[in-house]
Amino acid sequence: MNNPKDRRLLGKALLLLIIGAVLFACGLCLGAAATAVLTRPGLPSLSSGPAGSALDHPARPGTAVVAGDLEIRVMDSIRPADDIVAEGSTLNPRPGPGNEMILVTVSLTCRPEEETCAFVPALDFLLVSSMGVHRPKWLVVGLPNPLRGGEMQAGETVSGDIVFEVGKEETGLVLVYTESFGSNTVYLEVP
């Protein structure tokens, strides 16, 4: 380890491990909280509100909903997407027994009134069905069109796919977006 190049590589590897551990821990905490909130009995029905305002009244595919500084649309989905995920890398996750991968194509636009917008797909999105709550698979590489988080400029639009693992029998999927540093939540139907 006397070589400076080796020390830099070790430092980068340790940094990546620490970042991964923090994201994993955040995902567990947020996933548990989301599961408790989204699946608790007696969740109020707000279906008389605007589309996308409630879990039981999600916005239809292609319909834009506003959450804070972002305008969000679910454009499409590919299910099963096991082969696409597997072709990306042999290190990508494989679905468990009775499960399959789904790619949800999302379009995000930074509203013109904002200076910049930021989002983190691994933290901001959940996929909900009557059978449970699913977190995005964030250690997936080699996809043709991944949704990459980051900062966007006013008026800029980005789109890409988010990977989830769901049960083969699950229906009625709803993509839930909650701002990382805000209180806005929207619900979007997945085709």
pLDDT of residue 12: 52
150, 159 Cβ separation under 8 angstroms? no
Among the four given CATH numbers 2.60.40.1240, 2.60.40.10, 3.40.1160.10, 3.90.1150.10, the one describing domain 54-189? 2.60.40.1240
Is omega for the bond preceding 80 within 30 degrees of 0, making it cis? Answer: yes
Give the H/E segment covering residue 7.
helix 4-39
Element (DSSP H or E) covering residue 187: strand 185-189
Q: Is the peptide bond before 121 cis (omega within 30 degrees of 0)?
A: no
pLDDT in tens, 127-144: 999 899 999 998 899 999
Q: Is the pLDDT confidence value at 48 over 90?
A: no
- Domain ranges within the chain, ordered by starting residue: 54-189
Quickly state the pLDDT bin for 3 (edges 50, 70, 90).
low
Q: Which two tokens stand for residue 44?
A: 């109020």
How far is the C-alpha of 67 from the C-alpha of 106, rounded, in Å?
A: 14
Highest mean pLDDT (candidates 5-14, 38-47, 127-136, 176-185): 127-136
Q: Phi and psi at residue 19, in whole multiples of 5°?
A: -60, -45
Give the model confidence (pLDDT) of 80-104 as tens digits.
999 999 999 999 999 999 999 999 9
Residue 183 — very low, low, confident or very high, per pLDDT cuts 50/70/90? confident
